[in-house]
Amino acid sequence: MRTKTLLMVIAAAASLSACGNTGTSIDLENTNPLVATRYGDELADTLANIVIQNDPISKEPGMRQIIEQEIARAKSIAMRGRQEAKNGAQGAIIAEKESVTGYALLMADVLWLSSDFETSPGPDLHVYLTTIVDPRGETFPDQTAMDLGVIRSVYGAQEYALPSRVDPAKMRTLVLFDTKLNRIYGFAQLSR
């Protein structure tokens, strides 16, 4: 049963990639370059471990070839994510007053947060971009701070569209700021 299920999953993934369908939630999540990099690396590792550990499924007729094709596809997804991320400004999110982890990537008109992003919840936690490098040394929000809105989720990957009036090349820092508490939760200094 396990073999049949794995075969069905691999076949479905292969058929979706072959027809260029981008309608699955995984394909949509992988439009985030940070997610695509992690997903591709982890998929390649999972499949490689099937072979390395001599899992019986890798010995079945034709399965080794399918696994190797999927490893190549996974590596391609990860490489695409890395290449796209090079076109943006990125940084690790640093906790300030609350627990915050993850990465941010600013590309053209989109701010991406990584799949491992997590923050402590707040009553009115917002996502800001600013031209200042370190918001701890300034009164925040400063004059250049652009509020992208209330955080969509305190867990996981997400994206925020930048208003057309924002010049992404000037934005240096992502700030997670609670407007009710007047408190910086964390920030990421974005660099190319």
* Arithmetic mean of pLDDT, 102-113: 96
* Whole-number pLDDT of residue 23: 63
* Whole-number pLDDT of residue 167: 87
Q: Is the pLDDT of residue 8 over 90?
A: no
In whole angstroms, what separates CA 97 from the centre of its chain? 23
Residue for token digits 């997804």?
77
The pLDDT tens digits for 137-184 are: 889 999 999 999 999 999 999 999 998 888 888 999 999 999 999 999
* Whole-number pLDDT of residue 94: 96
Which residue, among 21, 27, 31, 25, has the nearest Cα to 159 in the 3D structure?
31
Q: 103 near 114, Cβ under 8 Å?
A: yes
Q: Is the pLDDT of residue 20 over 50?
A: no
* Whole-number pLDDT of residue 15: 44
Q: Is the pLDDT of residue 134 over 50?
A: yes
Cα angle 25-26-29, degrees, rounded to a multiple of 5? 85
Alpha helices in the chain (DSSP H): 2-19, 25-29, 33-52, 63-85
Q: Please tell me which residue, 192 or 83, carries the higher pLDDT value.
A: 83
Q: 156 near 35, Cβ under 8 Å?
A: no
d(CA 85, CA 146): 22
Enter the tokens of residue 164. 């057309």
Cα angle 183-150-188, degrees, rounded to a multiple of 5? 60
The pLDDT tens digits for 42-99 are: 999 999 999 999 999 989 999 999 999 999 999 999 999 999 999 999 999 999 989 9
Q: Is the pLDDT of residue 18 over 60?
A: no
Enter the tokens of residue 106. 């600013």
Enter the tokens of residue 36. 């695509």
* Whole-number pLDDT of residue 43: 97
